[in-house]
Amino acid sequence: MSRRAGASGSSLRLRLTLVAAGLTGAALALGALALTTVVSQSRIAATDAVLAGTADQVAELVAEDRLPRVLAADEPGEIVQLVDASGRVVASSPNASRTLPLLAPSVLDTTSDGAQTRQDSAYGSGPVRVLVDTLPTGERVVATLPLATVEGVLGALRLSLGLVVPLLTLALGLVTWVLLGRALRPVEELRAAADRVSGVGGPGTLPVPQAQELAALARTLNAMLDRLETSAQRQIDFVADAAHELRSPIAALRTSIEVAGEHPEAYERAELMADLQHEVVRLQNLADDLLVLARVGASPLEVQDVDLREVVREAAGDVDLRGEGRAVVDPSAVVRVVRNLVDNARRFADGRVRVEVRDGVVTVDDDGPGIPAADRERVFDRFTRLGSGRGRDAGGAGLGLAIAREIAREHGGEVTLDDGPLGGLRATVTLPTSADQDT
């Protein structure tokens, strides 16, 4: 498990490194392409400006009738010619022939004015930038500059970028790999600690990194592990207590059956049936209580605005009931709460049980011996039965109060115990109302 987790961590680190390096490489490549394009366009624009200046100078000389036989060409490799309408060279720069035009007459006839890149110049083997300008006299100025210099600059730029971009991408990938290793180290420590906890059990304590986000995660996981441990321990205790409580009625049933089997003459049928029925009812009640506890919180409550007086009537029958009130609850669940509290009061009362209701509150009073203040929280523990005072338990398993509180808390309410006005115990149930829902 540890090796698989470590491999997953390394794979994540590798994927993040490749993504970062890939995005950076793509961005650098696009930047290099954009830079090459800009440089190329700027260099060609500068070449066009030189050619345009030369053409304007020739046009001015023609207009002033001062055209020399040899035209000036200031830039290295620049060639300029003045060609008449028939294609004959009228004037030319010193590096060009008076008889060989830069562009063949057939080509020149199909060439529009302006600058363009061509490969068919008669004076060069490489691409040249050609500018053609038609004068009012019908003559045409043809000027060219070789693009070898521009191509050389662009070639050098492409070569340098071709080396720089991969090197920068590789360097960034290495830096990202190192930084991710440091950033993921606390995560790996958390994983290793969690692996130890899962291997040996117990709540454990995960290390809390210094990074704020990971520290919050570690604290949350620690709290979760503690809650899981507490919940698991409660489940273990619950199963142990349930097994203990189930053992008594099962043992009684087994004893009755064995005695009836070995001494049928000593165990009358009616007496056997009565004993078996008593233990079966006890076992059934215990099973029902355990199922109720297991289902608390397992499904959403179906709450509605109900009349608490009707709920008490359904739960307790002809009990002494006073007051009026409503609550927003799941009726069937609250019936179980009231029934448990009333049954508990009846079991220990000397003769009187009284229930009062008002909005969001149900109180159950009895005139029994009550419960000492020190034990009023302990009796809500599952399978807890006091040995004195209220110890006249007629078959209860010690789950009634626990169930009542669990259901009330699921509604957002509570069950508390106090001294009652009848001299015994008062159990108070608080429940949400429509007013609580509005706020």
Burial class (CB in 10 A: 0-12, 13-18, 19+), 192: middle
* Distance between CA atoms of residues 34 and 57, nearest Å: 35
Exposed (0-12), middle (13-18) or buried (19+): which is 307, by Cβ within 10 Å?
Answer: middle
pLDDT at position 243 is: 73
Residue type, 62: V
pLDDT, tens digit only, all 439 positions of the chain: 444 444 444 567 788 888 888 898 888 888 888 888 888 888 888 888 888 898 899 888 888 888 888 888 888 888 898 988 888 888 898 888 888 888 888 888 888 889 888 887 887 778 888 899 999 988 999 988 888 777 777 777 778 778 888 888 898 889 888 888 887 787 777 777 777 776 666 556 777 777 677 777 778 777 777 777 777 776 777 677 677 667 777 887 888 788 778 877 777 778 778 878 877 877 777 777 777 766 666 567 788 999 999 999 998 888 899 999 999 998 888 998 998 899 889 888 888 999 999 999 999 999 999 888 888 888 888 777 665 444 444 445 677 888 888 888 888 899 999 999 999 999 999 999 887 766 6
* Residues sharing a CB contact under 8 Å with residue 430, sequence separation 6 or more, in sequence order: 360, 361, 408, 413, 414, 415, 416
Q: Please say whether the beta carbons of 407 and 336 come within 8 A.
A: yes
pLDDT at 72: 86
How far the first Cα of the chain sits from its last, in Å, is 50
Task: Give the pLDDT of residue 397.
Answer: 63
SS3 state at 172: helix
426/354 Cα distance (integer angstroms):
9
